[in-house]
Amino acid sequence: MAEIKLVAVDMDGTFLDDGKNYNRARFAEQYAALKARGIRFVVASGNQYYQLRSFFPDIAHEIAFVAENGAYIVEAGEDRFVGEFPQGDVAKIIDTLARGNYPELNYVLCGYHSAWYFSSTPAVYLEKMRRYCHRLQPTERLDDIDDRLFKFALNLSDEYVSVLMADIERHHAGVATAVTSGHGSVDLIIPGLHKAHGLALLQQRWGISHEQVVAFGDGGNDLEMLNQAGFGYAMANAPDRVKAAAGYQAPSNNQEGVLEVIQQLLEGRGAFA
């Protein structure tokens, strides 16, 4: 069996429980053991970098983040990759969203410096998004945004998610890819800039093969990462299509599933025996 050199974790529904917490004392011990063995720890999430690092105040300066579903990669506080939509493509996507029939659709534009919302965005939606975007600013017009935009974070009625995703594929193939993490949440990302791409860039820097990676996820935006990793773990709370794509299954996010498998890794048990 290949020697494990990297552990990558999604956050919501995976590393975090439903209360958006994790067992910090247990993980601190595990992280120290991983570090002592030269095993890298990477946070791979659709969320904003500034939000993600807030969960790891003691080690954010030394770990890596594949943030915004792979559009923004930071290693030990240093930028390693920043994607960008051409502004003309952003305008065309916004036009599609405005013309479509997507009940309860709201969205923010995610960029290098901040996430952005238009003044017409409902306050209740913004209150929710502030939990995921620690930098969130208003704008009146797209042309007023001075930033590198690399993701749309959308939320809409769950039953219309497939309709929206099909429309994005039909009108913006090759420009934007729609991925869902469940519960009416859809991200529009730059094609190819997913979590697996971000991990591959870091692996190349560190000389780590796919077979030496353990990855954890629970959503559609984790599929490429779970397929790519030598040990791809779907959480017990993941939908069936995610479980089918992963080679392994971890206990649920509310049962410290990620930490349970990391413990198996450290003790040479389970799939790591």
For the annotated catalytic residues, the residue numbers are 10
What single-letter amino acid sits at 87? Q
Residue 13 near residue 252 (C-beta atoms within 8 A): no
In whole angstroms, what is the distance from residue 230 CA to residue 251 CA?
A: 18
| φ and ψ of 236, to 5 deg | -60, -25
